[in-house]
Amino acid sequence: MPASCFVPWARHDEPRRALVCFPWAGAGAAPFRTWCEGLLPGVDLWAVRLPGRENRLRERPLAGMDEMITHLLADFAALPAAPTIFFGHCSGALLAFELIRELRRRKLPQPEHFAVASSEAPRRLTAPRELREFHTELRALGITPGNVLASERVMRLLRPGIESDLQVSRSYVYKTEEILDMPISVFATAADYAANPAEFLDWRKETSGPVDIARLAAPNLYPDGAWDELGLRLQALVATATR
């Protein structure tokens, strides 16, 4: 039987709230496990692990956004009925955003709050983007350690999942529909925000609710950067989030 797309790192019989994390291109659920430490009592922590990642390496990576959404919806009942916050990191923010819109279309429960990190506002993505040569793309993104890039054996295992996610994010084209009605929290590095603030400010156009933009003084928001600080920010958000 295929594994569920949703992995519970902290789970309670009757949780008061749940944080559900969507990873960046090629990543799985594992990086979010460290955020269990410091969670408030009664708060669940879940993370998305799609086929082709971690212990699902032998499964075929999904071919596009629609197929990813279909798989997530099939496993959606695994999540608790408690008030939920979705957190999407980089390309994971696009996946979480489109899942929210699909939940709304189907009149299914939506998260009470949406948080994103290192992600350009979707409505700015009006045409497909060119996908560069695989290794060039990974070096430009700067999220794959050099020793991993240099290992042919490791990259042979990881490449299908990473490439699948990159193709999905680069081919994504925004479709206009009713904006969301929930608060959105946006996390960016100070350098990324300074380089192009509109990428992050345009999240204000995606919801009728409030949008908060936080700039972190770090080189990146990945596990080798401000990962722990990002986790603490999200834990604080979980503690105070209201619809």
**Which domains does the chain carry?**
6-237 (3.40.50.1820)
Please state which of the ranges 39-43, 66-70, 190-194 shows the lowest mean pLDDT: 39-43
- The tally of CA atoms less than 13 A away on the side-chain side of residue 176 is 2
Q: State the DSSP code for 5.
A: S
CA distance 222 to 81: 29
Could you tell me which residues are beta bridge partners of residue 87? 21, 115
The predicted-structure confidence for 170-220, as pLDDT tens digits, reads as follows: 899 999 999 999 999 999 999 999 999 999 999 999 999 999 999 999 988
Exposed / middle / buried, residue 16 (Cβ in 10 Å: 0-12, 13-18, 19+): middle
Distance between CA atoms of residues 95 and 24, nearest Å? 10
Note the pLDDT tens digit of each residue in 109-144.
Answer: 999 999 999 999 999 999 988 777 777 777 766 666
Closest CA to 50 of 3, 108, 1, 117: 3
> Kindly report the CA angle at 126 between 234 and 73, in degrees rounded to 5?
50
pLDDT at 119: 95
3-state secondary structure of 241: coil
What is the per-residue pLDDT for 6? 97
- Runs of H (alpha helix) within the chain: 65-74, 91-105, 134-141, 146-149, 152-171, 190-195, 198-201, 227-240
* 9 CB neighbour count, 10 Å cutoff: 18
| Tokens linked to 142 | 């700067």
Q: Which residue has the higher pLDDT, 153 or 218?
A: 218
- Sequence-ordered list of residues with C-beta below 8 angstroms from that of 159, at least 6 positions apart, any chain: 134
With 0-12 CB in 10 A as exposed, 13-18 as middle and 19+ as buried, what is 93? buried
Tell which residue, 223, 217, 191, has the closest CA to residue 34.
223
49 confidence band (pLDDT: 50, 70, 90): very high
Indicate whether 1 pLDDT > 60: no
Which of 116, 117, 222, 93 lies closest to 169 in space, CA to CA?
93
Higher pLDDT, 38 or 81: 81
Q: Please give the Cα distance from 111 to 109 (Å, whole number).
A: 7
